[in-house]
A = this chain, B = another copy of it.
């Protein structure tokens, strides 16, 4: 019996409410000049007060040393084992744009890209074409049928699109065409087992047709496909936790992830203020809220230490709006670290604070990496955040006689 099976057996519905506030890429690294991380540098009186009333710790999204992508980072926070529960890039793109994936559909992530006259990739993102251009190009490619398979092409954003292969006789074990670097031609898609040969040949023919259709659309004169994948068969959060969960997120991928685990994805504006307003307006209707705050991750990827500091301060200024709702359990955490010093996701464990009437406070009175390192929650896998939140919401009964 794994952890989720235990939780499923002991979870009970109750009127208590849980709010999980995910600050994307929350964890950081010290600025060598000051010795302080972004979160230590930021002036966050409300978070610090919540840390003082609550209990803190550090979470490992996947395992110590492992740098998680956004999908495993979030799945772990929702309680799913991020190693056994792999969600392909194609499915993430498709679900993130509300594409209605059907049983058997195989989704893939597509990029419009630039080929030179020798057929070598010179820009994997075709100069980041506009959203409007992306929509126009997708219409050129959408709805083709090859060997009985329909290919549905939907725009995502800029150079990105989702392509879904629908029809009989498909298996998804094929290689990518995206070489993931420039100066080489796109790769031919190959079947990794005999069952997948039909998908490989259909996908190669689709790419050949796309090249012809896009010939006059330089710099977007070719497509690259990667991450062929199918909708994972995982139990929903309602099935496991007996919750009525809602997601407040503005970025497509996180909306997609939330939908995959069965959350209701609420319409919302994109700013922190908008998202907290959405929380307030829908607060009566659900008992679990995943609120996703994206910009701290972007600032980390850009290596912008000061912008991260400001974003944390902005979250902090808005926090009273959340606290005023008096959720029974508030969890503030991240899906991974994105230190400005590293300009990317990192393996460092992520600060977490949990507040509830029943949390058994520790002696931490500051929400920061070093303070959380000595917190009462210790260092633990992110998959245990949901059981902890459920317990603090008195939504779990006793295990065993």
Contacts and interface: CB of A to CB of B under 8 A. Distances in A.
A259 to B, nearest CB: 16
Contacts of A361: 30, 35, 370
**From A362, A374, A390, residue with most partner B Cβ within 10 Å:** A374
Interface string A23-61: 000000110000101000000000000000000001000
A19 interface: no
Interface residues of A, number: 69
A358 interface: yes
Interface in A304-340: 339
Copy total for this chain: 2
B388 A64 contact: yes
A370 B92 CA distance: 42
A94 to B, nearest CB: 12
Contacts of A397: 67
Contacts of A390: 65
Nearest to A386: B65
B358 A1 contact: no
B6 A58 contact: no
A342 interface: yes
Interface string A47-86: 0000000000010001111111111110000000011101
A87 B391 contact: no
A373 B359 CA distance: 13
B373 A358 contact: no
A360 interface: yes
Contacts of A255: none
Contact of A401 (B87, B370, B388): B87
A111 interface: no
Contacts of A73: 400
Contact of A362 (B64, B84, B89, B370): B370
Interface string A176-213: 00000000000000000000000000000000000000
A401 B29 contact: no
Contacts of A66: 6, 10, 387, 391, 396, 399
Contact of A380 (B1, B339, B370, B379): B379
Contacts of A143: none
Given A341-B358, A391-B65, A391-B347, A86 B400 contact: yes
13 contacts: A30-B361, A62-B400, A63-B384, A65-B388, A66-B399, A67-B398, A87-B400, A89-B401, A341-B358, A344-B398, A362-B370, A373-B376, A379-B380
Interface of A: 1, 3, 6-7, 10, 29-30, 35, 37, 58, 62-73, 82-84, 86-89, 92, 227, 339, 341-342, 344-349, 358, 360-363, 369-370, 373-380, 384, 386-392, 396-401
